[in-house]
Amino acid sequence: MVLDCALSAYTNNIIIQIADITSIKKITKEESSGFLKVWGNSGFFGYWGIFHTKNLADFEFYAKNKSNLVLINTIKTKVILSPDDLDNFISVLEEKIKLLNY
């Protein structure tokens, strides 16, 4: 079972294996300040690439904007996304994880 996040035409699709997810967390506005771009794009076409913060270290960032952010920790990396419906996204993802572990 995979989670296939369709992103804008300017990036490739991101595939996150449900079985690899270790935690999911909403990111607050305070936590989203200070994102430093290591590689990628920030601004005109949204945000994508590798970013860094003091608290999160390096992470993959794929977002249209800096609102509705969710951090997905996996066994391999950290990924931050900005789904349109944050609460529903987290709810559906948690349900898929629960079904996988059932």
Sign of CA dihedral 27, 89, 68, 79: positive
pLDDT at residue number 6: 43
Q: Is the pLDDT of residue 45 over 70?
A: yes
For the chain, give the mean pLDDT: 84
Domain holding 58, by residue range, is 2-101
> What single letter denotes the amino acid at residue 38?
V
pLDDT at residue number 11: 55
Q: What is the pLDDT of residues 68-86, one digit of tens each?
A: 999 999 999 999 999 889 9
Structural domain count, the chain? 1
pLDDT at residue number 91: 94
